[in-house]
Structure 1
Amino acid sequence: MKLYPLFFFTFLAIAGCKDKPKPVANSIPRPTVSPDGNRIAFPNTVMMRSFTTQPTRSETIRTDFAAPGHVAAMVLKSSENPAERLVLFDDPSLSNNYTAILQHRINIQTERGNLERVKDLQAHGAASGKEVIEAQTQLANEEAAIISDEATLKLAGFDPEELRRARPNTILVVCEIPENQFGAITKGLPCTLNFTSFPNERFAGRIDNVNDYVDNTTRQIKLRISVPNPDGRLKAGMFATVGFGVTEGKFMTVSRDAVVTVQGRDYVFVQTGPQAIERRAVQLGQQRNDRIVVLGGLRENESVVVVNTLQLKGLSFGY
């Protein structure tokens, strides 16, 4: 009889455990990313606190820019034909192209004269229509061939017409600059060159050609720079560093911690709302200390994320 109270209280304890509700596990809130990765929305402002922002600002800074180059050609006066220029390239294949262009020009003039002669003979009954077609075909073949050789030279940074007009005793330096530096570079801009062979001297040059295309792999643009070489000391194939001067002005800048690079392109993340961030492609210029010049893609006083940008990079690009 004395054991009944013990069993009774044990039963109540077990029953109480059965009636107690079990805790429900809540899912962890996650940010929402747009299909193109350009917009990231956070479920609450608490998650946004880890992404500190700074406003873009404009400031007066001094920027300079330099790029490696090499002497790709020398221009000399032809001893056989003073009206023509003798161009010595450091790449033998370009020499072949330029020589072929000169020959094609001669052939085109010859074929044009021949076509006019055949047409005149046909008008007087001394030539057939077949002969006219053959003369037209010969001219067309020469015109097509010269286009191919001209394209090869232009891809290497040379314009055949400008080569024919280049001053004798001049070297032509080819260098490549990043796409994001192109905005500050224009044809006719003076520059200073330092050659490895003459480390203590500076040579004055001028940009006389900017290529019409950006290399799809390197995202570089070729420039051609002419440099007087009256004493012939500078030779084809020599290496140089090309300085494009110092520019002082008011430029928009961001912290270097704000920039991420993916497949050769630069991006920053801009806070556009209390719980929203947008990925923005930007064009960058020179870096000064911990700030980078922004040439395009941002507006004044936009809030750019400067902390935990790699986390945003992973969310935006999926890795």
Structure 2
Amino acid sequence: MKVFHILFIALFLFTSCKDKAKPVTQAIPRPTVSPDGVRISFPDSAMIRSFATEPTHSETIRTDFAAPGHVAAMVLKSSENPSERLVLFDDPSLSNNYTAILQHRINIQTERGNLERVKDLQVHGAASGKEVIEAQTRLANEEAAIIADEATLKLAGFDPEELRHARPNTILVVCEIPENQFGMITKGLPCILNFTSFPNERFPGRIDNVNDYVDNTTRQIKLRISVPNPDGRLKAGMFATVAFGVTEGNFMTVSRDAVVTVQGRDYVFVKTAPLVIERRAVQLGQQRAGRIVVLSGLKENEPVTVVNTMQLKGLSFGY
């Protein structure tokens, strides 16, 4: 009888435990990252609070202003025509543009002479008005074509007329500077270049040209710098850093802890809404006392993350 009671009690307890509702496991909220990794949205203020920010601000400092550049062209003397320059571009399409300009110049001279000849024949009754119009059209087409090719070269930082008279055994370096640094740059300004291929050497250069437009997307201005290359060591396509000397001015800075670098590019994370942080590409200058000069990419008083930025880097880039 006792055995029966014990079995009954055990069965009752087992059934009671089985009927109890199982506790529901709550999912841990996680940030939401946009497909391109630029925008990180947080589920609540408690989670985003761990990514403390500080506003950007400008201050008066002395800094070595520098910008990345590359050898966009080499100038050599033409062996076939010493009066012309042989220009070797790192971009084959620019070579085509420059060659087309030289050909258009020849064609324009030819068509101008032809137009004068046809006009003279018309005066003497040996040519019709139609022939004059055709000659005018051919000349106009050549003049329009050369304008298009010249515009392409100028957008790349080259003046076709200056290329024709450039000094042989010279390389032409193109670099870009932020719009807010443009006031310190003038044509003829000397500069020093350090090439990746020759890290322990410094090469003197001079600014030959400041482009006439600012890129609408990057807000950068192209500069063209000529560097003597008598021994031919410097080649088209080489990368360089162009230093413009020590300058004093009002520069925006951020904490060194705000910056992350991925594949050679620098980024910061900006809080753009109460629960949103966005990745921002920046161009940096010199570092001074734990702060880094920001040449472009940020505005005054934007809240930049300075704590746990490596976690944001992992979320943004999927590391």
Q: Alignment partner of 1:298: what SS?
A: coil
Other-structure match for 1:174: 172
- TM-score norm. by structure 2 comes to 0.66
Amino acid at match of 1:235: P
8 Å CA contact 1:172–1:226 kept in 2: the answer is yes
8 Å CA contact 1:257–1:309 kept in 2: the answer is yes
Matched, 1:235 2:237: no
Deviation at 1:288, TM superposition (A): 0.8
> How does 1:1-319 map onto structure 2 within 5 Å?
1-3=1-3, 5-33=5-33, 39-61=39-61, 62-65=63-66, 72-73=74-75, 86-89=83-86, 91=88, 101=101, 104-105=104-105, 107-122=107-122, 125-140=125-140, 142-143=142-143, 146-147=146-147, 150=150, 154=154, 157-163=157-163, 173-177=171-175, 179=176, 181=178, 183-185=180-182, 186-188=185-187, 190-193=189-192, 203=204, 205-210=206-211, 223-226=223-226, 235=230, 237-239=232-234, 242-260=242-260, 267-272=267-272, 274=274, 276-288=275-287, 290-313=290-313, 315-316=315-316
Unaligned runs of 5+ in 1: none
Name the CA shift for 1:115/1:223 in 2 (closer, same or farther; >3 Å).
same
Q: Alignment partner of 1:91: what SS?
A: strand
Amino acid at match of 2:208: I
Q: Alignment partner of 1:279: what SS?
A: strand
8 Å CA contact 1:267–1:279 kept in 2: the answer is no
8 Å CA contact 2:65–2:244 kept in 1: the answer is yes
- TM-score norm. by structure 1 comes to 0.66
8 Å CA contact 1:34–1:40 kept in 2: the answer is yes
Amino acid at match of 2:174: E
Name the CA shift for 1:226/1:87 in 2 (closer, same or farther; >3 Å).
farther
Distance 1:120 1:251 in 2: 66
8 Å CA contact 2:64–2:243 kept in 1: the answer is no
CA-atom RMSD in angstroms = 4.8
8 Å CA contact 1:69–1:242 kept in 2: the answer is no
Q: Alignment partner of 1:28: what SS?
A: coil
Q: Alignment partner of 2:191: what SS?
A: strand
Unaligned runs of 5+ in 2: 235-239
Q: Alignment partner of 2:295: what SS?
A: strand
Distance 2:29 2:128 in 1: 86
8 Å CA contact 1:206–1:226 kept in 2: the answer is yes
Deviation at 1:27, TM superposition (A): 2.1
Amino acid at match of 2:51: F
Amino acid at match of 1:21: A
